[in-house]
Amino acid sequence: MRSLLFVIWIKASKDAATALAIIETLAVGEFDTQSRGGARIVSANVAGKQFQYELPPGWSASDFIEQLRLLYKVVTTGGASGGQMTDSEMNEYVVDAANQVTNVSKARFADKAGSRHI
C-alpha cells in the first residue's frame, strides 16, 4: 500500500490534496488495465497527467480498488489531528520516516525472561 501511495504522491508533485484527488479519481474506476509482457498495468489520465502502476502478481482490478480504499482511509484519517494528512505527514508516511515498515520475517515477543523468536 505504501508503494502505491508513493507512486501517487510523486505523480501529485508531493501535494497531499492532489494525491487525494488522484486516489478519488482512480477509485471511481477511471482507469484501464492492460497486459504488457506478462505484467498487468493500471493506466489513467489523472489531473492532466498520465498515471501508470504495475499491479503485483495475482492482483485484479478489485484488489486495486481495495488498496485505493485503504489509501483513502490512511490519507483522510492519518493526520496528527485524526484528519487529512498534510504534505509533510504524507511525506513522512511514504518515506517511512518513523521506520514502521520492516523486512524482519519473524515475530518477536518479549517476556520477563527475555525475547523469544517464532
Residues 45-75 pLDDT 10s: 887 778 899 999 988 889 999 999 999 999 9
pLDDT tens-digit readout, 10-53: 999 999 999 999 999 999 988 999 988 888 999 998 877 788 99
Report the pLDDT averaged over residues 105-111: 56
Yes or no: say if 6 and 20 are a contact pair by the CB < 8 Å rule. Answer: no
Yes or no: say if 105 and 63 are a contact pair by the CB < 8 Å rule. Answer: no
Ranges of each domain in the chain: 2-117
- pLDDT band at residue 116 using 50, 70 and 90 as cut-offs: low
